[in-house]
Structures are given as C-alpha cells and as structure tokens.
Amino acid sequence: MLKDITLGQFFPGDSVVHRLDPRTKLILTLVYIVALFSAKSYYSYALMLFALVASVLLSRINFKTILRSVKPLIIVILFTFILNMLFTSGAHPIAHFWIFNISYEGIRVAVTMIIRLVMLIIGTFLLTYTTSPIALTDGLEHLMNPLKKIRVPVHELSMMMSIALRFIPTLIEETDKIISAQKARGADFESGNLIRRAKAMLPILVPLFISAFRRADELAVAMESRCYHGGEGRTRMKQLKLQRRDVTALILGALVLAGVMVLMSFGL
C-alpha cells in the first residue's frame, strides 16, 4: 500500500504539460480547484472531467499510475461517502434507522462529493508528476514575489514546500523498509484490536523519526557546504519565460472556469 503513494514524485517526460512553465501549471491548478468546487451539476462535472482527462492524455502519464495515486485514499473516500449519505437530510427518504436518514438527496450529495474528491486528488497530483521540485520552487517563488514587499520570506517558504514534497517518496520508501525489517524480526502489525495495532506502530515511528532527522541534518550540511544562504542575490541557471503554449493553456483554463460559471448561471 505504501508503494502506491505517489504524492511528490516527478515523472520526467517531454510532453506538452511537462514543457509548460511551472507558474502556468500552478495557476491552472488553482483555477482547476476553484472550478471544481464551483461545479454543482453533472454537466459541470462532465466539463471538468473532460478537462482532466485531456490533461492526463497530454501529459502522457500512465493511467495505471494515476489510479494508483487514488488507491491509498480509498478508505478516506468511502468514509466521506458514508458520512455525506447518512447525515444529509432530504425530502425523499429511502430508509431510517436510529439517528441516520438515507435519502435520494443524501446519495446524490455523497456521489458528487467523492467524484469531486477523486478529481481533486488526480488533478493536484498531476502537478507534481509533471513538474520537477526545482521548477516548482522557482514557480512558487515567482508567483509570491509581491509578498516580499511586506517582508514575507518567499524564497524560504517555496524551498520548504518543495523539499517537503521531494522527501515524501523518500520517507515512504524508508517506512516500507522499516516495516519489512520489523516483520522479518517477527513483528505483527495486522492482528489485535485498534489499540494493539497502534502500539505495534511505535517500533516503526521511532526509527522513522531518527532517519528523518538524520536526512534533514545531512541536507542542511550539504546546503551549507555549497554556500547556500537563502534567496538574496541568488541566480538561476534556467530563467522562466512564458511561451505561446503557456498563454494558450491559461486561456483554455479560463474558458473551462467560465464554462462552469455559465452552467451555474443557467442552473445546469
């Protein structure tokens, strides 16, 4: 299950999506999230699904990889579905037991919620799949440059976010190794009640924290040895420049958002 978590991984490629400016991809991701949460009908979700499928096809990322990113979150998705189904009141009840009411409206809300959640996961994961950590850092820093006027440490914040994303796959791999080593020594993580399983996780958490702190210390030493002193006076080997494809992508993103708003205005 841990190997199925692909958040923070970058898959090198030469597709149209890979070649887009990281600032463009960050803006499009924000536009996608706004449009997705603004969608209220199946027509709006169909438009968002079309945009998402088109983006995945253009990125040339394997659909198996995309579906694998959703697999570790199935429990969260099912839990969200059950909560929305049981606690959403409606005028057309189907069943009632204890304090729970199941209605057609509750099922509809639950279905739309999990569709929105799955599409949100895939859309945001696509950003890290097609953008290297360095490019993501540069894009974030450029977009947050106006905040420097109020003395916000823009470069440091961008660096921390990109490093956090970069080390998620590393920590997952380290956790998998620790679990395998503990199982080889006879550890049991699957039997017993919830409290017993939680206690069984302690032999995993302690070495994982030690490994994380060790990697953080090694990273700090490596950055200091290369004379890293923050973003002041820092230069870049690759300068970010918007191309025609970036303008086209931004226009298409704006059209998708406008389409969702138009469908909302017509009640569709």
Q: What tens digit of pLDDT does each residue of 131-159 get?
A: 887 788 788 888 888 887 887 777 778 77
The residues, ordered by sequence, that sit 6+ positions from 96 with a Cβ below 8 Å of its Cβ are 102
Q: Nearest CA to 242 among 231, 251, 233, 234?
A: 251
- Looking at per-residue pLDDT, the higher value among 58 and 134 belongs to 58
**According to the model, what pLDDT value does residue 252 have?**
92
248 pLDDT band, cuts 50/70/90, is: very high
Give the range with max mean pLDDT: 12-26, 70-84, 105-119, 140-154.
12-26
pLDDT of 194 reads 65
Contact 178, 189 (CB under 8 A): no
Q: What is the pTM of this model?
A: 0.75
Torsion over CA of 114, 120, 122 and 132, rounded to 10 degrees? -160
Contact at 8 Å (CB) between 129 and 59?
Answer: yes
Do 43 and 110 touch, CB atoms closer than 8 A? Answer: no
Percent of the chain surpassing pLDDT 90? 9
On whether the CB atoms of residues 84 and 113 are closer than 8 A, the answer is: yes
- Residue 98's pLDDT is 67
pLDDT digits 0-9 by tens, 13-31: 888 888 898 889 999 999 9
Of 127-131, 146-150, 175-179, 193-197, give the lowest mean pLDDT range: 193-197
Of 105, 76, 101, 102, residue with least CA distance to 5: 76
Give, as one character, the DSSP assignment of residue 87.
S
Average pLDDT over residues 94-119: 77
Q: Pull the structure tokens for residue 23.
A: 């600032």
C-alpha distances in angstroms, 75 versus 70, 99, 218, 256? 10, 23, 35, 31
Say if CB 188 and CB 200 are below 8 A apart: yes
Question: What is the CB neighbour count within 10 angstroms for residue 238?
Answer: 8
More confident position, 233 or 168: 168
Across the chain, mean pLDDT equals 80
pLDDT for res 32: 92
Nearest by Cα to 123 from 207, 39, 42, 196:
39
- pLDDT reported for residue 267: 67
Q: How many angstroms separate the CA atoms of 119 and 137, rounded?
A: 24
Please give the structure tokens belonging to residue 172.
């997952």
Q: How high is the pLDDT of residue 255?
A: 92
The mean pLDDT value for 43-64 works out to 88
Q: For the segment 228-239, what is each residue's pLDDT rounded down to a tens digit?
A: 776 666 666 677
For 172-188, what is the mean pLDDT? 78
Which residues contact residue 155 at a Cβ distance below 8 angstroms, ignoring those fewer than 6 apart?
Answer: 141, 230, 231, 232, 234
